[in-house]
Amino acid sequence: MKYALVTGGSRGIGRAICIKLAEMGYYVLINYQSNKVEAEKTLAMLHEKGSNGELLKFDVSDKAEVEAALDAWQSAHAGEYIEVLVNNAGIRKDALMVFMSDDEWHTVMNTHLNGFFYTTRILLKLMMAKKYGRIVNVVSLSGLKGMPGQTNYSAAKAGIIGATKALAQEIAKKNVTVNAVAPGFIRSDMTKDLDENQLKAIVPMNRFGTPEEVAEAVGFLASEKASYITGNVISINGGLYT
């Protein structure tokens, strides 16, 4: 059986990625922090498609929780490993920097950067030992272009982009690839507080994207077909920023 872990898999882009990976034949571990109801909905959607998976609860920003959850899973699956990791869990706490609180800065940094580090590090060892793995990081247009009111979010995503490029070079010889996708305006829970009618006017395609469009790119990067692609960032933004 082939296993994939999607952090923040309970809703939006994460849910679409879980469904895509399930369609590709993966048994999907759906990570969530607190919203078990939505995570169970994602699992039910996998079952409806004839696929399978399970819920894996932990806060990606909490080192002890990450290690406890993943060590327990590995102990229960001796001889097997998670060959695809999608680091998708994220949070926004937007504010102009002059008014930004310490909590708004640190919470975003911890969730994105520390979450990427804690989760990836623990799964990386077996990927390298097995000489096969796919790591896909969901970053953002904000990490490439920078967005006003998002210095915390932009800095965190830009940091993961840098880490993607560095890690890709460290482990390429082990047949483990590391890539990222950078969505622009995607219709999801993360953007439900934005004025879509106003913002779509600045997008050359004149619309927001869908979680499924992001999931298609993630699915490709997670596949064997992308075996010679590593250290790259694919923008999914309707031409908004190139």
Of 6-10, 96-100, 199-203, give the lowest mean pLDDT range. 199-203
* 77-93 tens-digit pLDDT: 999 999 999 999 999 99
**Which residues, 6 or more positions from 25, have their beta carbon under 8 angstroms from its beta carbon?**
2
Inter-residue contact 46 to 27 (CB < 8 Å): no
* Pick among 3.40.50.2300, 3.40.1710.10, 3.40.50.720, 3.40.470.10: CATH of 3-236: 3.40.50.720
Tokens representing residue 60 in the block: 């990606």
* 105-136 tens-digit pLDDT: 999 999 999 999 999 999 999 999 999 999 99
Got the DSSP string for 172-201?
GGGTEEEEEEEE-SBSSGGGTTS-HHHHGG
3 a catalytic residue: no
Task: Provide the pLDDT for residue 189.
Answer: 73
Quick one: DSSP state of residue 235?
E
Query: From the candidates 3, 26, 118, 153, which is the catalytic residue?
Result: 153
Confidence of residue 177 (pLDDT cuts 50, 70, 90): very high
| Whether the predicted pLDDT of 194 surpasses 90 | no
Calculate what percentage of the chain has a pLDDT beyond 90: 92
pTM above 0.85, yes or no: yes
| Whether the predicted pLDDT of 191 surpasses 90 | no
Task: Provide the pLDDT for residue 93.
Answer: 95
Exposure b/e, 182-196, CB count within 10 A at least 16 = b = bbbbbbbebbeeeee
**Which residues, 6 or more positions from 138, have their beta carbon under 8 angstroms from its beta carbon?**
13, 14, 17, 86, 87, 88, 90, 180, 181, 183, 214, 218
Confidence of residue 28 (pLDDT cuts 50, 70, 90): very high
| Whether the predicted pLDDT of 156 surpasses 80 | yes
